[in-house]
Structure 1
């Protein structure tokens, strides 16, 4: 029979394990990790049987705009995690001879092994990111083989990680020919040129009146409802560390960076936090996107409009002037969020900072992970006619005001009408963004009007 001391010891061990937190085995972590996570397909909002297309429907034109794939931390984020790494090192060098089990990995953890050359790596694409982009290109080649052409044009923003994503995608799409031809079919849009108005893949950057920091008070209010409790829990597990808010949020960011840089199964930082804490983390990120680049920002639809109009113009053409049928472009997460908002996807009327809205539609984890992609397909359904649908990270996301077609799609006629209505609501880009009229400036995105090659003379 166990002694009272042994029983108490066993009970203490159970309590220690329970208090050590960690998300539960059945918890869907990736549905709450927001924009820092490597690419993963989105959880669908609708059952697959509702979005399945009948055999008669075939894609005959497709548009893809993608975020760059997995990158190293941004400069600001790197500075934050580097500060945490130094704080951990100092704490371990001091009074930390005994650590709670969940913190033991920190004895050998070294940020410099994850990010070996910050000067070259910070802000840039990772090896995983290059692989993701290559695989995406190969998937597009396979899925839309009937629309593929060896000389089709691809478009990209000018930031290095975006261009590298585009080139690796082209390696997967075209094979070795892409590199052999020095990526001659890649058209780069200058992301730093503030004077090109709507003719850009980064319209938020060229909209001079685009409001910044709208989300700050909402996020500050929400963070105050849950992070103090996390600080108290972690401090009880590691007394004397002196946890602060930036430590908590930074360690949660390190969850994704560890997976991105050390291996997808490396989740030591992820395991420091509970299910509810991850739910709160994801909602905090969603507050940021909602108010800064989506429905809570008065110019989000305005900035996203040029892209959806450009796509709409091509969808309306039975055959495009260049005979290109696959249009692929690369940009950034906030820009994609604006494009999705202009389309009317995942609309929420409001998103407050009091508590998690578990019924919200806007979920950045499903919308803008690394390598996120917004796909617009035109469907030829034979005698039923032509239809349009949107997919976000492989999940069909219906236009809520038009989803009565096959697989919750929208008839091409109704879609073109809804784009006119969206334009009326969003307003003119140059006018609302405060861009001064000048020769050559326009509210239109015209990049797709003139691909590098006219494919009509060589359809193969």
Structure 2
């Protein structure tokens, strides 16, 4: 009887505590968060200490990228400015009576104040997390303003504004550099930023159809289109990282089911553009993996923490090269494309862009020294995605799903044999096929 009463009392708050957060389903526009999927602890496993770590970080939050602004946001804003629709007579759209756009041409690709603060916060967090490691002599970034300023803010947070302690090394975003850059896709002739748009648009027609019908019934003078709906979803994330909140995030405007549609449309785009939908993706991610592992294993290097800032294209390729977030990882079949249909949502998919590449997304390779019960004493490695441990498929024989040194090196070697030929994957060009920026 007591047990039954306890279970009844416990169930109510647990069931009522969950609240759907649109910002955790906003794909590449999501503010930084840790998904905790799987829910492994981010601190090192019992008996383990991190001895070295390498981080790849996407730049912090921006006002908008040029494609989103020119394709979706600006057209919607102009349409809103020229409409005769009386928004005060509507329900879910009443806020448009007084709403003003948070973005203009001058803001495109620039970091927001929230972005600068979050980059600084990441620096402070990693300083605390790795207080026992040496302050890095260098931090790297590609040369775009948003990546450089993200790195500068990170350094300020890491050093408590003693920025002279760390040198920022800028790596040119040069096509001729090939894989020897933090933007290897720029030198790859086989890569195209438009891949995935057809698949995303196809599903976009599916999930926006009922939304368009609903909103057009509510605001009969406006004539909502698929692009308008996309812009409204995007404004939730962009306006939030500019102003701190957005009426476009209201669940009275878009339901959780509709948000999952927006997220899936973006998942399709990134899946085919920088994920498993193209074999090329893993070949773009392998140079950073190889360079990072070599840096962690180089005991002659005085640097123990390696942090590099890049754009949104690179982290998903690293995820793909490592075999993480793979929908078909346990099936034994090579039909991963079938797991991402274009006419319906695969709700049980592993590939979720909101978890893989929010603003300031970061992938880490940690090298640990372990003396843990039930495991051999020695070095182990683990992968973190936004502070959440991601055990490697077929390489998790250590504490907390980590991977022993011998197995990890075999795992990386096997992935390199599959995807390590950058020039072949990129169409036979004769550019550098490896990343050398961490070499001493």
- TM-score above 0.5: yes
Q: Determine the structure 2 residue equivalent to 1:267.
A: 247
Distance 1:53 1:132, change over 3 A: closer
Structure 2 equivalent of residue 171 of structure 1: 156
Q: Which entry has the higher C-alpha Rg, 1 or 2? A: 1
Change (3 A) 1:129 1:53: closer
1:154 aligns with 139
For structure 2, the 5+ residue unaligned runs are: 1-16, 328-335
The CA deviation at 1:66 is 0.3
Shifted more, 394-403 versus 274-283: the winner is 394-403
SS in 2 for 1:187: strand
User: Partner of 1:362 in structure 2?
Assistant: 351
Alpha-carbon separation, structure 2, partners of 1:97 and 1:304: 47
CA deviation digits over 1:408-438, x for unaligned, max 9?
111111111111111111141123213543x
User: Could you say what secondary structure the match of 1:323 adopts?
Assistant: coil
Change (3 A) 1:118 1:212: closer
TM-score (norm. length: structure 1) = 0.84
**1:104 aligns to what?**
94
Q: Which residue of structure 1 lines up, in the alignment, with residue 116 of structure 2?
A: 130
Deviation of residue 88 (structure 1)? Answer: 1.7
3-state SS, counterpart of residue 224 of structure 1: helix
Cα RMSD, aligned residues only: 2.0
Q: Is the 8 A contact 1:156 1:188 kept in 2?
A: yes
Alignment of 1:139-218 (within 5 A): 139-149=125-135, 152-178=137-163, 181=164, 185-191=167-173, 193-218=174-199
Aligned residues of 1:123 and 1:161 also touching (Cα < 8 A)? yes
CA–CA distance in 2 between the matches of 1:330 and 1:367? 15
4+ residue segments displaced more than 6 Å = none
Q: Which residue of 2 aligns with 1:17?
A: none
Q: Distance in 2 between matches of 1:187 and 1:77?
A: 29
Count, aligned residues = 408
| Length-normalised TM-score, structure 2 | 0.88
Confirm or deny: 8 A CA contact 2:62 2:238 kept in the other structure.
no
- CA distance, structure 1, for counterparts of residue 254 and residue 180 of structure 2: 43
Query: In 1, Cα distance between the equivalents of 2:120 and 2:190?
Result: 36
Q: Which residues of 2 match residues 334-349 of structure 1 at below 5 A?
A: 334-348=313-327, 349=336
Q: CA deviation at 1:25?
A: 7.4
Task: Find the counterpart in structure 2 of residue 33 from structure 1.
Answer: 26
Pick the aligned partner of 1:233 from 199, 211, 214.
Answer: 214
Question: Which residue in the other structure is 1:76 paired with?
Answer: 67
- Tell me what 2:3 maps to: none
Is contact 2:391-2:401 (8 Å) kept? yes
- Counting only pairs closer than 5 Å after superposition, residues 306-317 of structure 1 correspond to structure 2 as 306-317=287-298
**Counterpart pick for 1:401 among 389, 394, 397:** 394
Mark the runs of 5 or more structure 1 residues left unpaired by the alignment: 1-23, 451-460
Instruction: Return closer, same or farther for 1:168/1:59 CA change in 2, 3 Å cut-off.
Output: same
Partners in 1 of 2:87 and 2:208 — Cα distance?
27
Match of 1:61 in 2: 52
